[in-house]
Chain A
Amino acid sequence: MEYEFHWNIVFQKLPQLLNGAFVTLHVSVLSMLIGIAIAVLLAIAKMSDARIFSLPATVWVEIARNTPALFQIYMAYFGLGAFGIHLSPYAAVLSALVFVNAGYLTETFRGGFQSIPKTQYSASKSLGMSSTQLYRYIILPQMFRRIYHPMTNQFVWSILMSSLGILVGMNELSGETQRLQSLSFRTLEFFIVAAVMYFLITKFVLFSAALISQKVFKGEL
């Protein structure tokens, strides 16, 4: 191979790449937190016997899980744009990622809920606990403990999928990489550095998740 690597240009532009990496981390953490909150509600709604709750939840999950994330980001940006609703690139990517995260996590959470023996529900009731207390103290802590690993997988997934933000001109790591490589045409160098950054971000997130789990679950995972 006759390719000569030029690394100095990449080091000059490192601050801009780090900015992009920060946006990537930012949008995926936020999409995860909102996604988890929505998914808990959707999972409870999906298990409900009342169709008014279970049907919308099922529709959400089916669309989120069976269409490409690329399509959802495009819908949020140009699709809504056709109706005169203009989200910023950041908001479009965030809402699309929240939509997908919530969809996938709903099924994960439902599995978590259903793995908890029904007898615990009746036992709590017989102790005089309200529904809120039941979920707050008995069900949710056990559920989160059981689905903690699949949940971190979803987190990694949303970090990697946020790179699709490039499609709508978002200045996350991929968009910034694309812009910088077009200035200098050092394509390979910039892409290699971006790949390393993605790797480090996901490792950082997995490490933090492990720390949090030790703190919260006292190592009983």
Chain B
Amino acid sequence: MLCSFSSQTRRLLLRSFSTSRNVHIFEQLPPKRSGEKLMSYVKNAQYQRLDPNGSKRNLLSAENSSRLRADDIVTIIYKDQKPITGQILAIKRQGISSNILIRNKVGGVGVDISVPLFHPNILRVDIVRRPIKYRPRAKHYYIKGSRLDVGDINKTH
């Protein structure tokens, strides 16, 4: 087989063949995080830190039939500040930085507040009222300034 090569090439090839016999093949390392993908591991760690009992995740999960939806009237209860009430216009699902946009009229002035749901200062989110029939679309930005706009919502609704 080697007769077609030059003498120099033949020598090189022989040497590489001889060394290849001594190549040490290492044992495969055990998988890190017991095989879990890095991003899912990071996300789970964040959820464990910010939402240990899973109640906030449950509010956003698509499997939960009593999840938050646009058109619901909610009250957000904080640890150290007054609760805020309003109608949900939109829910942005993006892991621990998920937030809900709520709208209310305070003394005739419309106020939109976007609240990061997984902030440790938020104790819980209470659903005050659900509509009988939900409006179309998942984001209700179109109700602003129209006849569908929210009224003066307070906690007793």
Partners in one complex: no
Interface set of A (CB-CB < 8 Å, partner B): none
